[in-house]
Amino acid sequence: MEYENILLGVEDGIATITFNRPKALNALNAPLVRDLSDAIKKVSEDEDIRCLILTGSGDKAFVAGADIVELTKFNSLQAKNHIHFVQSTFDNLQKLSVPVIAAVNGFALGGGLEVAMSCDFIYASDNAKFGLPEINLGLIPGFGGTQRLPRMIGPNLAKEMLFTGKMIDAQEANSIGLVNKVMPQSELMDTVLKTAKTIASKGKVSLRAAKQTVNSGLNVDLETGCKMEADIFSICISSEDAKEGTTAFLEKRKAEFKGTYNS
């Protein structure tokens, strides 16, 4: 399906969503988020998709934040309704059963950083810049930034970024654990695709289980998390993928995962 504000492509089981408003540095307005929400639903319904990549059009920005022109038109109630819609869209992104990689190719500010943090991990080009600059607008983040950033980099560093509104470069983002890998922009998509292909070659059942166990475990104490791990492991072990993976190891061949629970 054609969208006005994003591009959705699927090749060899790997889907790519590209934020596509380059003249506004891919800023997130309501029509773009509606497109994103629909595309996430499509990805969730397509059994053949094994991995999703998010990136931005052009060589300057991933997403430069919420659309500031649009947000000046919201009253309090409209702002709250819009925020609920965007937050639920980012939650749906985070809860997708397939792994999601953010390929950050430039500015990831405000809502741009918030959408990147809703992905499973971030690879960045060396020109990328990250920040929550809402404080400079007399605002705070509204799409999960006050919650996800401290969980990712700790409260002290997150508060410094929130209170100063400063941007950090890709190297610094890498050094504080916000970004997994930094590379020249010309290598970003190839590197992300390579990782996506590695992920796509694994068993769908165990990928989903690994993602779900980490995400759910982050919200509970260690003991409860380990119990969840045992429960989810016990479901995994009876899957066809697990039989194939262990049999392939013993037969000294490459596993061919089908992604089904029952044999």
Please tell me which residue in 134, 187, 229, 244 is annotated as part of the active site. Answer: 134
Integer CA distances (angstroms), 68 to 27, 134, 145, in order:
8, 10, 17
| CB 167 to ligand CO8: min, Å | 8
Question: What mask of x and - would describe binding to ligand CO8 in positions 83 to 102, judged by CB under 6 A?
Answer: x-------------------
Query: If you ran DSSP here, which 8-state letter would residue 58 be given?
Result: T
144 binds ligand CO8 (CB under 6 A): no
- Alpha-helical segments (H) within the chain: 30-45, 68-71, 76-95, 111-117, 145-153, 155-164, 170-175, 185-200, 204-217, 222-236, 240-250
Residue closer to ligand CO8, measured from CB, 25 or 153? 25
Among 13, 133, 144, 259, binds ligand CO8 (CB under 6 A): 133
Catalytic annotation on 114?
A: yes
Please tell me which residue in 45, 114, 160, 256 is annotated as part of the active site. Answer: 114
116 binds ligand CO8 (CB under 6 A): no
135 binds ligand CO8 (CB under 6 A): no
DSSP H or E stretch at residue 121: strand 121-125
Coil, helix or strand at residue 234: helix
Coil, helix or strand at residue 260: coil
Among 7, 30, 79, 210, binds ligand CO8 (CB under 6 A): 79
Structure tokens at 77: 């109630």
Quote the distance between the C-alpha of residue 95 and its chain's center.
10
Please choose, from the candidates 175, 178, 172, the residue with its C-alpha nearest in 3D space to the C-alpha of residue 145: 178
Dihedral over alpha carbons 39, 43, 44, 48 (to 10 degrees): 170
Catalytic annotation on 134?
A: yes
Among 33, 64, 161, 179, binds ligand CO8 (CB under 6 A): 64
111 binds ligand CO8 (CB under 6 A): yes
Among 49, 71, 102, 236, binds ligand CO8 (CB under 6 A): 71
Q: Give 52: exposed, middle or buried? Use CB within 10 Å, 0-12, 13-18, 19+.
A: buried
66 binds ligand CO8 (CB under 6 A): yes
56 binds ligand CO8 (CB under 6 A): no
162 binds ligand CO8 (CB under 6 A): no
Annotated catalytic sites, by residue?
114, 134
| Chain contacts with ligand CO8 (rule: CB under 6 A) | 24-25, 27, 64-69, 71, 74, 79, 82-83, 107, 109-111, 133-134, 137, 139, 141-142
